[in-house]
Amino acid sequence: MRVPKLAKYEYLLAGAYLVVTSIVKWRLSPDLWILFYFAGGLIGLHLLDLLEQFLSKQPSMNTVPLRTHSPLRSAFMQLLLIPVTFFVITSTNSLIGAGIVLMLNFHFLYLQHEERQQGGSLTGWLRNLFDPVDRRTMNWYLYGMTGIFLIESIIFMLIVWTK
């Protein structure tokens, strides 16, 4: 299975996010544990695309391209990820897990902001929760999910991990 290539700008933003959260969390004195966080971040950044590739190769899938009609690219899946993220960053000592869930959230937000800039609508993301999707609903959802992501990031950076 080929690893999908993401936009260079997304890699730049994701790298900056990982570096900033690492600097704040480890207060400029990182150890080798930080590599687990970076590895999890790399996995999380590509996880959505890898799952979509896997699902598109299943014989039961129809011929509609999964890239545009993926059930994984939905507000429902993003909302399901919120309690998982809070659990992983607060209740486990897994830096790989923290990197995966935080970067998966980052990837969702990046895709939504990119889609909004290109097409101006998140109807594809919100169709299973809101019908019809008006601009006000779309803005509230996008700002709300960005706020939740920032809260998750702050909680991750403030929690002191025990080894």
Distance CA 79, CA 6 (A): 23
Say if residues 40 and 22 touch (Cβ distance below 8 Å).
Answer: no
Which residues of the chain fall below pLDDT 50? 1-3, 61, 64-67, 162-163
| Cα atoms in the Cβ-side hemisphere of radius 13 Å centred on 123 | 9
What per-residue confidence (pLDDT) applies to 27? 76
Closest to 22 (Cα-Cα) out of 9, 33, 6: 33
